[in-house]
Protein backbone atom coordinates (compact mmCIF):
# COMPACT_ATOMS: atom_id res chain seq x y z
CA UNK A 1 0.00 0.00 0.00
CA UNK A 2 2.82 2.39 0.86
CA UNK A 3 4.41 1.73 -2.53
CA UNK A 4 1.19 2.80 -4.28
CA UNK A 5 0.99 6.00 -2.28
CA UNK A 6 4.62 6.78 -3.11
CA UNK A 7 3.93 6.13 -6.80
CA UNK A 8 0.90 8.43 -6.76
CA UNK A 9 2.90 11.18 -5.04
CA UNK A 10 5.61 10.90 -7.66
CA UNK A 11 3.08 11.10 -10.50
CA UNK A 12 1.37 14.12 -8.93
CA UNK A 13 4.73 15.82 -8.45
CA UNK A 14 5.67 15.25 -12.11
CA UNK A 15 2.26 16.50 -13.27
CA UNK A 16 2.48 19.57 -11.04
CA UNK A 17 5.99 20.36 -12.29
CA UNK A 18 4.82 20.05 -15.91
CA UNK A 19 1.82 22.30 -15.28
CA UNK A 20 4.02 24.87 -13.56
CA UNK A 21 6.42 24.84 -16.52
CA UNK A 22 3.58 25.36 -19.00
CA UNK A 23 2.05 28.19 -16.98
CA UNK A 24 5.42 29.87 -16.49
CA UNK A 25 6.23 29.73 -20.21
CA UNK A 26 3.10 31.65 -21.26
CA UNK A 27 4.26 35.12 -20.22
CA UNK A 28 7.77 34.45 -21.54
CA UNK A 29 6.45 34.05 -25.09
CA UNK A 30 5.08 37.59 -25.07
CA UNK A 31 8.58 39.10 -25.20
CA UNK A 32 9.83 37.28 -28.29
CA UNK A 33 10.57 39.42 -31.38
CA UNK A 34 8.50 39.20 -34.52
CA UNK A 35 9.79 37.15 -37.44
CA UNK A 36 11.20 39.34 -40.20
CA UNK A 37 9.33 39.41 -43.49
CA UNK A 38 11.11 37.91 -46.52
CA UNK A 39 12.99 40.26 -48.83
CA UNK A 40 10.27 39.98 -51.48
CA UNK A 41 7.79 41.77 -49.23
CA UNK A 42 5.02 40.95 -46.81
CA UNK A 43 3.24 37.62 -47.32
CA UNK A 44 -0.54 37.54 -46.98
CA UNK A 45 -1.82 36.03 -43.76
CA UNK A 46 -2.60 32.34 -44.21
CA UNK A 47 -0.63 32.00 -47.47
CA UNK A 48 1.65 29.19 -46.33
CA UNK A 49 2.87 28.24 -49.81
CA UNK A 50 3.69 31.87 -50.64
CA UNK A 51 5.57 32.19 -47.37
CA UNK A 52 7.59 29.05 -48.13
CA UNK A 53 8.39 30.34 -51.62
CA UNK A 54 9.46 33.76 -50.33
CA UNK A 55 11.70 32.36 -47.61
CA UNK A 56 12.99 29.72 -50.05
CA UNK A 57 14.05 32.51 -52.40
CA UNK A 58 15.91 34.19 -49.55
CA UNK A 59 17.65 30.90 -48.74
CA UNK A 60 18.70 30.43 -52.38
CA UNK A 61 20.04 34.00 -52.53
CA UNK A 62 21.93 33.39 -49.29
CA UNK A 63 23.34 30.18 -50.81
CA UNK A 64 24.53 32.19 -53.82
CA UNK A 65 26.20 34.62 -51.47
CA UNK A 66 27.89 31.69 -49.72
CA UNK A 67 29.04 30.33 -53.07
CA UNK A 68 30.50 33.74 -53.92
CA UNK A 69 32.33 33.80 -50.59
CA UNK A 70 33.75 30.32 -51.22
CA UNK A 71 34.86 31.40 -54.71
CA UNK A 72 36.58 34.44 -53.20
CA UNK A 73 38.43 32.25 -50.70
CA UNK A 74 39.52 29.81 -53.42
CA UNK A 75 40.82 32.63 -55.61
CA UNK A 76 42.66 34.21 -52.67
CA UNK A 77 44.22 30.85 -51.73
CA UNK A 78 45.31 30.27 -55.31
CA UNK A 79 46.91 33.71 -55.65
CA UNK A 80 48.65 33.41 -52.27
CA UNK A 81 49.98 29.99 -53.24
CA UNK A 82 51.31 31.37 -56.51
CA UNK A 83 52.85 34.32 -54.62
CA UNK A 84 54.67 31.92 -52.29
CA UNK A 85 55.94 30.07 -55.35
CA UNK A 86 57.36 33.39 -56.62
CA UNK A 87 59.17 33.82 -53.30
CA UNK A 88 60.68 30.33 -53.76
CA UNK A 89 61.67 31.05 -57.35
CA UNK A 90 59.35 28.43 -58.85
CA UNK A 91 56.95 30.91 -60.52
CA UNK A 92 56.98 34.38 -62.09
CA UNK A 93 55.09 37.55 -61.30
CA UNK A 94 53.22 37.15 -64.58
CA UNK A 95 51.72 33.90 -63.30
CA UNK A 96 50.57 35.66 -60.12
CA UNK A 97 48.96 38.39 -62.23
CA UNK A 98 47.36 35.83 -64.50
CA UNK A 99 45.89 33.91 -61.55
CA UNK A 100 44.65 37.17 -60.04
CA UNK A 101 43.01 38.29 -63.29
CA UNK A 102 41.37 34.92 -63.90
CA UNK A 103 40.23 34.93 -60.28
CA UNK A 104 38.63 38.34 -60.64
CA UNK A 105 36.83 37.20 -63.82
CA UNK A 106 35.65 34.07 -61.97
CA UNK A 107 34.33 36.16 -59.09
CA UNK A 108 32.50 38.52 -61.43
CA UNK A 109 30.88 35.58 -63.22
CA UNK A 110 29.84 33.89 -59.97
CA UNK A 111 28.34 37.09 -58.54
CA UNK A 112 26.60 37.85 -61.85
CA UNK A 113 25.08 34.37 -61.99
CA UNK A 114 23.99 34.56 -58.35
CA UNK A 115 22.27 37.89 -59.05
CA UNK A 116 20.61 36.54 -62.18
CA UNK A 117 19.34 33.46 -60.34
CA UNK A 118 17.75 35.73 -57.71
CA UNK A 119 15.89 37.69 -60.38
CA UNK A 120 14.85 34.55 -62.25
CA UNK A 121 13.49 32.90 -59.10
CA UNK A 122 11.59 36.04 -58.08
HEC secondary structure over the chain: CHHHHHHHHHHHHHHHHHHHHHHHHHHHHCCCCCCCCCCCCCCCCCCHHHHHHHHHHHHHHHHHHHHHHHHHHHHHHHHHHHHHHHHHCCCCHHHHHHHHHHHHHHHHHHHHHHHHHHHHHC
Q: How confident is the model at residue 13 (pLDDT cuts 50, 70, 90)?
A: confident
Q: What is the pTM of this model?
A: 0.60
Across residues 101-110, what is the average pLDDT?
90
pLDDT computed for residue 15 by the predictor: 84
- The domains of the chain are located at 1-32, 37-121
Q: Mean of the pLDDT values across residues 36-62?
A: 84
Residues 35, 24: Cα–Cα separation, whole Å: 23
Which of 13-22, 54-63, 112-121 has the largest mean confidence? 54-63
pLDDT at 90 over 70: yes
Amino acid sequence: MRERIGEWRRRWAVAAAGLAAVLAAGPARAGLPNVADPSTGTVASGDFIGMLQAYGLDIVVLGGLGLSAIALLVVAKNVITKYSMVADGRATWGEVGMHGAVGVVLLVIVIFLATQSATVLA
